[in-house]
Structure 1
Amino acid sequence: MTSLDAHTEHIILLAWSRALGLDDMTLASSLSAERIEAVAEGTQTLSLVQVLGRTALSGPKDLVRAARDVPDEELALETGLLEIARPHFPGARILGEAQLLYCEEPPELQGSDLVSVSHDPQHLRQLIERSPADDVTRSGVARAPWSASLVREDTGEVVAAAGRTIQHDFLGDIGVLTHPSHRGVGLARFAAAVAVEEAFADGLIPQWRAAGEAPGSLRLAITLGFAPAGHQTTVALV
């Protein structure tokens, strides 16, 4: 059970069904104890998605079949998926575990006299160039079609940014990047709140992926009003 209403849950399951290449109602109509097999030949990943009590394993047919006798609890661990993948793909590597969270109400957004919000792609590029590569990759802002950057009014320095990617028409996947020298002062929350508010304005349900190795991401999502609704574990096959 989650704090999300039934209509929101239905849309989330619809979006994930499409993301996994399934019929629209597959996840919504599945039983909680049933694992859906989403065979995707030619894919470069093996992924276990658990969302709103439903479970789906997505990947090549041989790997999906090899996992049939493995409990979901084991596959939800990076090592569990890796053990399935390695005999077929020796170069398989862990991409990570992430909690999936969603919200239904925009967070309180207060303006700031210290920073302004910019949608200029050049500002985002400046922040990316000055940030650690791992942080940039984890945030996803570099490949996000929509972004908002926070620019200091006094110096013009870009200190944080949020990005949003639309997932199958319904979900707005939010990511945040803050420069290391400006963390801990609420900039990530401000940038994320802007992205969440814009997602609602565009008719999307905001989605947040909190990576297992980044506990601060989960804490931030909770402060923004996101509710935990699932988990995703992914292994790259090549």
Structure 2
Amino acid sequence: MTPDDPGAPASPAVPGAAGPVPALDPRDPPDPREPPRASRREAALIAAAAVAGTALVAAFAFDPARGGSSAMLAAPGALYTVLAVFALAWLRRRGELRAALRPRSGDLARGAFVAAALYGLAMAVQLTLAPRGSPREAWILRLYLQLGDPSADARVFVGAAVFVIAALEEVVWRGLVMRALEGPLGPTAAWLLSSALFAAAHLPTLFLLGDPFAGPNPLLVAAGLGCSLVWGRVVHRTGRLPPAIFAHAFFSWAIVSFPIWRP
């Protein structure tokens, strides 16, 4: 009787010896140590909801008729509070909440450094793209006029509100949208697409903050794309949200509290 004979008795297993690897059954449950990947449908719904909500709020908040009003900040604050609560619940359900928000020493400094670099870049872009005295100066003028009088005492409250809204935005766009898109697309494509979607959600400002002489205003769309690429990269490098949250919040606060343009 040979070993190949079906009737031959099975050889005893030898500890440590290599043996045949059983085929994976697609019906087997997923590894509980790995968070479930978002499906293509779930990722698309999450991204669509974030884009639609942001675009609608941008159209409302940046309407020139609401310039300097409390509604201009209340609308995005309300939207992102709701979306951030959903994002945190979504991360918790997947078992990723603690890891995503786990603070570490240096997060604050890292976020402040990234924010300072972006602030310096914003100043350079303003001097190049919309220099004082050019028709395109109207682009940045309209943006700051929408926020209200930069010399008003209430500007400190505006800066605080913008800080909080920016932090919530980061939870939503990097913690929810980008993370969901990573399921069907992978990290790199999700990073690029979520950044493009964040910029696209601000398209209403092209026309709402436009100028008859300078034309459509690209500042918020361009800033949304460029900054999102940076903040998404920070999340990928650290594997956590806090550094990007601080970077986004400090940058937005600095733009409001220390305007790169004054009348």
TM-score calculated relative to the size of structure 2: 0.23
Task: Name the structure where strand makes up a greater proportion of residues.
Answer: 1
Higher CA-based Rg: 2
Task: Name the structure where helix makes up a greater proportion of residues.
Answer: 2
Relative contact order, CA 8 A, sep 6+: which one is greater?
A: 2
